Amino acid sequence: MSFRSIETAEVAGRRVLVRVDLNVPMQDGAVSDDTRLRAVVPTIQLLAGRGARVILLAHFDRPKGKRVASMSLAPIAPALAAVLGQPVGFADDCVGPQAQAAVAALADGDVLLLENTRFHAGEETDDPALAAGMAALGDIYVNDAFSAAHRAHASTHGIARLLPAYAGLSMARELTWLEKALGKPQRPVLAVVGGAKVSTKIDLLRNLVGKVDVLAVGGGMANTFLAARGLAVGKSLCEHDLLATAREIEAEASAKGCELLLPVDVVVATAFAAHAPHRVCPAGEVKADEMILDAGPRAVGELAARMEAAHTIVWNGPLGAFELEPFDTATVEAARTAAGLAASGRVIAVAGGGDTVAALNHAGAADRFTFVSTAGGAFLEWMEGKELPGVAALEASAG
């Protein structure tokens, strides 16, 4: 994976366009979670500290190419200034006269936020004219928004073809750890994939069986694989129309030397509710009126043993109905095992996508993983082996 880090660029006195992810949750007109704001601070501080004129490009929500007052980035500027510790200016457009005037007024070390790129229909179609209009505002382009890198948009892809392009600190860290997790990993590699449905992760599973040594499948997805083996799953969440697909994936895993690990025992209940009466039984001994809500203790023990033997762990998705106690047990225990191994330096443990961050936070394990991506869709597409346009543009620029 070849890309240029912004740490290597001469930026003093130069206009640096930085694509960031400021798509933060809002409540009553105020930012309710500043995680994504804090994530962009290191890159902004590096650039401003070196005398760059920092110009931020970002989207917010889905205005579909029109100006929507409730989707303006204007309220984000003061919130970003608060976590950044310096003023953040705001321009009412991301191209054109207003943006040009705001950029022209910048002094070295200043920070300016431009209005929502998605107010222009050309953003999501990667329109060359829009990309050129944005590129005209800067001398250098930096992408620090891995979470938007799976979209070929004007501000993530088109503009990177028009200016010297670099990865921001957050982007570089993401790409470095993802490369260590699946690109050139230390083996054996264990992938843990959970969640509700096989249908949402077919590409991911098919990619992983060719890259990892052990693929542990949990959550509702595991029920489909158990049913494909002819085991009874009662009224569990199960995609019976995908049994043939599950068998194909298991055959692919076997052909490629990847062990497919499914729960050997499960926790079942007759109601989907917290603290519902439940029991542990071997996989396949689920009664007709029961549903599988978690992996059982033997299954957790088997997974822990595979973790102990691994050098790299890649995690996506919970292993059960983790939002309902006590059906969070498998997710919590397995996450804590992986976190302990990572914290001791025995494995590289990388996680991300979907409910993964929430599950690891619930387990109190996220801060001990080697790296946890908050990128969602981009992380999943990377796990599926797909090219991410925003990353590919950086690689082309480096080449």
pTM of the predicted model, to two decimals? 0.87
Q: Which domains does the chain have, with CATH numbers?
A: 6-170 (3.40.50.1260), 185-383 (3.40.50.1260)
3-state SS class at 5: strand
Give yes or no: 368 in active site: no
pLDDT score of 223 more than 70: yes
Categorise residue 126: left if φ over 0, alpha if ψ from -120 to 50, beta otherwise. Answer: left
- Whether cis (ω within 30° of 0) applies to the bond prior to 389 is no
Query: What is the DSSP code (8-state) at residue 290?
Result: -
Long-range contacts: 354-359, Cβ < 8 Å, 24+?
Answer: 354/195, 354/316, 354/317, 354/380, 355/195, 355/317, 355/318, 355/322, 356/315, 356/316, 356/317, 356/318, 359/317, 359/318, 359/322, 359/331, 359/335
Give yes or no: 340 in active site: no
pLDDT score of 379 more than 90: no
Q: pLDDT tens-digit profile of 243-299? A: 999 999 999 999 999 999 999 999 999 999 999 999 999 999 999 999 999 999 999
Residue of 161, 197, 336, 386 marked active site? 197
Average pLDDT estimate for 20-44: 89
| pLDDT at res. 6 | 93
Give the pLDDT band (50/70/90) at residue 1: low
Give yes or no: 197 in active site: yes
Give the pLDDT band (50/70/90) at residue 26: confident
Average pLDDT estimate for 51-77: 96
Residue of 180, 377, 385, 386 marked active site? 377
Give yes or no: 36 in active site: yes
| pLDDT at res. 128 | 97
